[in-house]
């Protein structure tokens, strides 16, 4: 009977795990150690800028323990969506960390870098061929959208990772990859059932997110066989229940029963969850329906300008009772100041001042059902323009302009905003927006990904 043991180090490399938990997993002789390294979850900045989300120190600590364990056992180590956004910069960042660890620990291994950043010419060709289609919902696409993207990645399935391991890779550092593919690749290569392999992978990819009471990010293991899998957290103080494992298919998915992967769909409608003991759960009945064609999801980020923020509080009841008209009027009147400052070079459409009101609807915006407003509120202004120097100039000037903007009740100069910091504005550099939620139908599942081998 086939049994493939898969050790998930944690939900995200760099977020940590207990060394004792990973050690326990390694003692159980996994056939692969894997960890996800990225997401769109934290917003478009990571893909757009290429900068990682987690610290280098935290990432290096986690990767060191994974590499040492994998080399000792002689099994593959797989890290996906390197650097969080999964662009080429993220793969390079993770490669440098891996090389540094190898030098420090005296490790040697065959390293594969599987890149998923997309060539714009390739994408425009596929777009013209009608082979890029929107998911629902999706922003509009055009060749201009592709051209103005800072970075576009394709989300690889298990195929490019399996190809790298087939060619002898012991460590695979992948660009943007389906989180589940990192954990399903080796079970699929070794002949485990596709339904259990993909379902187990979905449970493993978030580390201990599927336990009853999560204490911290930590390691978890699955035993994947032909028609079922078992899952158990590696910290003996943490447990899974049938319900906690079943619940995990809900997490971050629009549909809890159907989860789409590049080469098919995991269908867990028929899944049955049974407690093996008070810490481990067995899952039967998951199906994987192979798609006719492989589809690769695209994620893109484009620059939305340079941004500064201003944080301020208001306690004055006369201002709070006319808050919207006060905020609208000050921005309206500010247009003339911008006109005179820049001598007409910066027009009203060349900058954006947005304000969010905490204490009223700062969190939910138009969906907020409560109409109450508190005795004090916080204002978060965002100032965005296409040029860094313009943003800085407008933010500085606007903070002062807003501070003293009058209300009819008072005669004389007022200071209507309490700034908690000086200077009152903070430049936060370039900001990005997601601009794609589309799929490509390639000729074959490898053509969008580039693999490079290094002897370490």
Binding stretches for another protein (CB under 8 A) = 40-45, 135-139, 242-243, 246-247, 249-257, 271-273, 299, 304, 352, 354, 356, 362-367, 369, 382, 384, 432-434, 437
Q: Residue 265: which H helix or E strand, with range?
A: strand 264-267
Main-chain dihedrals φ then ψ at residue 262, nearest 5 degrees: -55, -35
Minimum Å gap between C-beta 255 and another protein is: 6
Of the two residues 39 and 170, which places its CB atom closer to another protein in the complex? 39
Phi–psi pair at 156, nearest 5 degrees: -75, 155
Nearest to another protein of 51, 356 (CB atom): 356
Q: For 430, what's the count of Cα atoms within 13 Å in the CB-facing half-sphere?
A: 15
For the CB of residue 26, give the shortest distance to another protein in the complex, in Å: 31
Neighbours of 27 (CB within 10 A): 11
Tokens coding 107: 């490790």
Choice between 235 and 302, CB closer to another protein: 302
DSSP strand E in 116-261: where?
A: 132-134, 149-155, 171-174, 220-224, 228-233, 258-261
Minimum distance, C-beta of residue 357 to another protein, in the bound complex (Å): 10
- Minimum Å gap between C-beta 64 and another protein is 28
CB of 44 to another protein, least distance (A): 4
Q: Work out how close the CB of 362 gets to another protein at its nearest, in angstroms, rounded to a whole number.
A: 6
Closer by beta carbon to another protein, 188 or else 301: 301
In angstroms, the Cα distances linking 89 to 52, 82, 157, 191 are 9, 9, 20, 34
Partners of 436 in beta bridges? 300
Query: Would strands 171-174 and 77-84 be described as parallel, antiparallel, or unpaired?
Result: parallel
Residues in the chain: 456
Distance in angstroms (rounded) separating the CA atoms of residues 220 and 339: 60
Indicate the SS3 state at residue 60.
helix
- Whole-number minimum distance, CB 38 to another protein, in Å? 13
Least Cβ distance, residue 444 to another protein (angstroms): 25
Q: Which is nearer to another protein, 251 or 453 (CB)?
A: 251
CA atoms within 13 A on the CB side of 414: 17
User: In the bound complex, what is the minimum distance in angstroms from residue 365's beta carbon to another protein?
Assistant: 6
| CA proximity to 221, closest of 9, 380, 78, 436 | 9
Nearer to another protein, 56 or 356 (CB): 356
Residue 423 preceded by cis peptide, ω within 30: yes
252 or 324, CB closer to another protein? 252
Nearer to another protein, 371 or 422 (CB): 371
Which residues, including other chains, have CB under 8 Å from residue 144's CB and lie 6 or more apart?
none
- Helices assigned H by DSSP within 50-180: 56-73, 88-105, 120-128, 143-148, 159-166
Q: Which is closer to another protein, CB of 336 or CB of 364?
A: 364
User: Which helix (H) or strand (E) covers residue 9, if one does?
Assistant: none
């Amino acid at each position: 009977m086939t049994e493939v043991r898969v050790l998930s180090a944690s939900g995200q490399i760099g977020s940590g795990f207990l060394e004792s938990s990973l050690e326990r997993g390694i003692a159980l002789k996994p056939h692969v150690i894997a960890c996800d390294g990225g997401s769109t979850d934290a917003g478009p900045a990571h893909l757009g800028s290429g900068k990682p989300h987690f610290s280098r120190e935290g990432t290096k600590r986690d990767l060191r323990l994974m590499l040492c364990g994998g080399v000792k056992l002689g099994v593959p180590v797989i890290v996906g969506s390197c650097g969080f956004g999964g662009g080429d910069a993220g793969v390079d960042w993770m490669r440098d960390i891996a090389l540094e660890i190898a030098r420090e620990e005296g490790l040697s291994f065959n390293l594969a870098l599987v890149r998923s950043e997309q060539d714009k010419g390739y994408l425009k060709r596929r777009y013209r061929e009608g082979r890029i289609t929107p998911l629902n919902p999706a922003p509009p696409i055009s060749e201009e959208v592709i051209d103005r993207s800072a970075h576009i990645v394709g989300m690889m399935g298990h195929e490019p990772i399996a190809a790298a391991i087939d060619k002898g890779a012991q460590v695979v550092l992948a660009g943007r990859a389906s989180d589940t593919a990192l954990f399903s690749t080796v079970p699929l290569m070794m002949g485990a059932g596709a339904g259990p392999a993909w379902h187990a992978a979905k449970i493993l990819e978030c580390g201990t997110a599927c336990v009853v009471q999560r204490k911290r990010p930590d390691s978890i293991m699955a035993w994947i066989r032909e028609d079922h899998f078992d899952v158990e957290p590696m910290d003996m103080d943490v447990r899974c229940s049938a319900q906690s494992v079943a619940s995990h298919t809900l997490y971050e998915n629009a549909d809890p029963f159907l989860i789409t992967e590049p080469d098919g769909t995991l269908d867990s409608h028929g899944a049955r969850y049974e407690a093996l003991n008070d810490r481990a759960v067995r899952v039967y009945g998951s199906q994987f329906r192979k798609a006719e064609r492989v589809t690769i999801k695209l994620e893109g980020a484009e620059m939305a300008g340079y941004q500064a923020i201003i944080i301020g509080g208001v306690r004055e009841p006369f201002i709070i009772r006319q808050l919207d008209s006060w905020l609208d009027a000050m921005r309206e009147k500010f247009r003339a100041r911008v006109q005179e400052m820049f001598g007409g070079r910066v027009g009203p459409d060349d900058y954006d001042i947005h304000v969010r009101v905490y204490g009223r609807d700062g969190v939910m915006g138009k969906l907020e059902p409560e109409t109450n407003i508190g005795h004090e509120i916080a204002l978060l202004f965002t100032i965005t323009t296409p040029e860094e120097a313009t943003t800085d100039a407008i933010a500085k000037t606007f903070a002062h302009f807003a501070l003293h903007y009058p209300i009819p009740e008072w005669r004389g100069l007022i200071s209507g905003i309490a700034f908690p910091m000086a200077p009152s504005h903070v430049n936060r550099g370039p900001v990005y927006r997601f601009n794609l939620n589309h799929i490509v139908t390639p000729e074959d599942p490898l053509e969008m990904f580039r693999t490079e081998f290094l002897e370490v």
